Amino acid sequence: MDQPDYADLVAAAFTACDLAYAPYSRFQVGAAALTASGRIFRGGNIENAAYPMTVCAERVALFSAYAAGEREIIALAVVTPTDEVASPCGACRQVLLELAPNCQVILLNKAGRQQRTTPRDLLPHGFGPTQLEEARGR
């Protein structure tokens, strides 16, 4: 079975990468989330001089979609300025698993080389709502 092209989604992730605010690390990352309704939400990493306040591109894109009322994310493209395709950080993997557990994750480098994966493959033993429900006795 052929995989979808996601050309518009990938283009939006590249645009988001160019717009990222990374004056300290100079490591601009772009992401774009595609929702079931067909809308695309871009996100670039946003750094802050107080480093813990920095937000990753993946979370910016996902949070933007959720803030707009979108709840079904079908794909997320992530572009990094690396020679090899880079993977999301642990925090982003956790957020992906909860907010977009069934989406296709497309990881790209600046040259356009890509690797496809899923949130479950990125975080195979992730913590989520099920564990919280078990702890509450549901």
Active site residue ranges: 58
Residues in Cβ contact with 138 at an 8 Å cutoff, skipping those fewer than 6 apart? none
Q: Which residue has the tokens 């067909």?
A: 38
Tell me how crowded residue 96 is: count the other CB atoms within 10 A of its CB. 26
Please name which of 48, 55, 45, 42 lies closest in space to residue 11, comparing C-alpha atoms: 42
